[in-house]
Structure 1
């Protein structure tokens, strides 16, 4: 065969193989091994968990137990009981607010007692969820490591196994996540550092997965070890492969352009802030804060960009520029709008993100985002939220 034709054939076959490989990687980007739930998801029935297990291959459930030293998730007991009834390995997590070693120990004691009361079985994982920008975000890596170690040591006194949940941008930056520990969140379009976090226990790859009989979007993770399945290898496999594939494709729809290729575009607008926002020295959550702009502040911008998981705008100032995030990268509309008339809802005792969102015909993630928060942010009676 002519060597030029042979070379062309090899290149063609190689291209076809690479194309197949790329499609396969995209469609099979991650398994739906574990789902985590909280009061934001509302009441979850055994039937819903059975559907997750049989149709989507979910093996483990991780339930929010507590937050700080003042909040116990009211749905923890039912989620634990119903998850167990569905045959899932059930674990728990605690949303951390600690900034000192003493506070970490106090929160671990609070979480351990709350987990016992909610029925979390001995031997389950009780992870510390460390992601608060206003608290752990301002601390050094050494301080966070010390505090996390104190929490994990204390939680073991209750008979639980410990782990750390955090974002990919914080792993081995704001805190050390090495040595077969760690449940790391890094959605495909904001990936950084170790891709897919294969050296850790779990990778949370989507915050908006959908299940057939369950309302709203869910956080799902792929497990790399058997740490979250009680040291046992689950044989659960999805029967609804098309649905799993659809969830993967949805999570990966923004992977076509990495964040390094993002470009600034002109956007000369005037916004009125609906909530307080940090004005930063750069378009990154790790950039220093110049000031905190209070709600009601008018901001004139000249450019916008999507990078690092957020939509950023640039504000010309007398000396250089200021930058502020107007929402997640997946949000094509800003949560701040010039001259907008808004409808507010006043939070009542017993309310949750899920309940308020459902009452107002919203997705709870959208509700939290348009108020400049996440669904893990605690809301309090008397607080006003924008619902329209």
Structure 2
């Protein structure tokens, strides 16, 4: 999820997070999940999602760790219910032991009750933290089971949210369970994770009257709509069909005819970046340019899922991937001045992010990393 707790999935394909399902079996926008990062969401916005995009369910961030309560949870739940959506919740987990898992479940359950999450709703554990990454599969399985068993004592149904790369790798996700995130280039008619409850296929979906990008999922069972009564149906089927078709497209279209464009800029690197011999991640690395390096570029191109820039050098050119083709944010910012934090023993992405008023995802991305990247004492991270 995002902190905006959502997964920063690794690898070239997942980093680009592009979805080009232009076929008749394009993924549906059955469920939206929201957190404090989406800001205040009105009933009107949820009604628009329902009527124009076919959204059936809403999953609201409730809590994180053992202390954080999402300040927008109560309004999201109330306004989502008023719009006739099935409403669920999720807790962003940091537990490493059985006792911590139970303590976080108690905290999440009590918080969910206080903000009005209806009994019978799903209260999923969002397992994507650095803590979980450092545990064995067996330990994660035991901790997840303990959390979910405890959650049921509050009258909520349980489930696990994680990435496709973690499912059955970092933890066990059995058939007929699980909410899995995976953002492919092309679906080609495939219904991903069809044996699981839900498949989150985009983290950048747009809605007509709402600002920013949203996480959207296709429901492959009725698990996230069961146990709550709603007879509300989308009122504009034509709009639903057209908007879902649009949502399954991207501005990025792979092409062998991509052209370089003039772009004369001076950049200061926010993080260490590989300088390649060509505009491809498979091309050889000339060197790794450290954070703080100033470079001048003369061309830019969108190719292979990335936005590339070209750096003139004394013996030719070097090429840098500045970010996903679908993302206007770059690893580099022109003339940037930064504040750095030196990692100490015991630090995690979460503790550093909380200390500096950032989300883990934002902290990691502005350092050119994912929340799954191991950080070490003495390492410097950009925090401003």
Answering whether residue 173 of structure 2 is matched by residue 177 of structure 1, we say yes
Structure 1 residues 198 and 373: CA distance shift in structure 2, 3 A: same
Secondary structure of the residue aligned to 2:215 is: strand
Return the offset for 1:196: 0.7
Answering whether residue 270 of structure 2 is matched by residue 274 of structure 1, we say yes
Answering whether residue 336 of structure 2 is matched by residue 342 of structure 1, we say yes
- What are the superposed Cα offsets for residues 49-72 of structure 1, whole Å, 9 maximum, x if unpaired? 111111111111100000111210
CA distance in 2, matches of 1:241, 1:78: 30
Which of 52, 56, 60 lines up with 1:59 in the alignment?
56
CA distance in 2, matches of 1:373, 1:253: 24
CA distance in 2, matches of 1:102, 1:271: 47
Structure 1 counterpart of 2:67 = 70
Return the offset for 1:370: 3.7
Structure 1 residues 330 and 85: CA distance shift in structure 2, 3 A: same
- What are the superposed Cα offsets for residues 131-152 of structure 1, whole Å, 9 maximum, x if unpaired? 12x2211222111111110110
Which of 95, 102, 106 lines up with 1:105 in the alignment?
102
Structure 2 counterpart of 1:36 = 33
- What are the superposed Cα offsets for residues 192-243 of structure 1, whole Å, 9 maximum, x if unpaired? xx96100001111111111111111111111111111124796734626456
Contact 1:31–1:222, Cα closer than 8 Å, also in 2: yes
Extract unaligned runs of 5+ from structure 2.
Answer: 1-19, 255-265, 274-280, 282-288, 296-301, 309-319, 341-352, 372-380
Return the offset for 1:170: 1.0
Return the offset for 1:172: 1.2
Contact 2:22–2:248, Cα closer than 8 Å, also in 1: no
Contact 1:26–1:249, Cα closer than 8 Å, also in 2: no
Length-normalised TM-score, structure 2: 0.66
Which of 226, 232, 236 lines up with 2:233 in the alignment?
236
Structure 1 residues 336 and 27: CA distance shift in structure 2, 3 A: farther
Which of 101, 111, 127 lines up with 2:124 in the alignment?
127
Answering whether residue 42 of structure 2 is matched by residue 48 of structure 1, we say no
Structure 1 counterpart of 2:200 = 204
CA distance in 2, matches of 1:234, 1:294: 57
Answering whether residue 211 of structure 2 is matched by residue 215 of structure 1, we say yes
Contact 2:93–2:104, Cα closer than 8 Å, also in 1: yes
Contact 1:328–1:369, Cα closer than 8 Å, also in 2: no
- What are the superposed Cα offsets for residues 15-65 of structure 1, whole Å, 9 maximum, x if unpaired? xxxxxxxx9863541111110000000000111111111111111110000
Structure 2 counterpart of 1:15 = none
Contact 1:197–1:203, Cα closer than 8 Å, also in 2: yes
Two-structure CA RMSD over aligned residues (Å): 4.8
Secondary structure of the residue aligned to 1:198 is: coil
Answering whether residue 183 of structure 2 is matched by residue 187 of structure 1, we say yes
Structure 1 residues 367 and 135: CA distance shift in structure 2, 3 A: closer
Return the offset for 1:110: 0.9
Return the offset for 1:189: 2.1
CA distance in 1, matches of 2:191, 2:61: 26
CA distance in 2, matches of 1:245, 1:331: 24
Length-normalised TM-score, structure 1: 0.65
Alignment of 1:360-375 (within 5 A): 369-370=365-366, 372=368
Structure 2 counterpart of 1:226 = 222
Secondary structure of the residue aligned to 1:196 is: coil
Secondary structure of the residue aligned to 2:185 is: helix
CA distance in 1, matches of 2:362, 2:354: 20
Structure 2 counterpart of 1:87 = 84
Aligned residues: 316
Contact 1:141–1:173, Cα closer than 8 Å, also in 2: yes
CA distance in 1, matches of 2:198, 2:102: 25
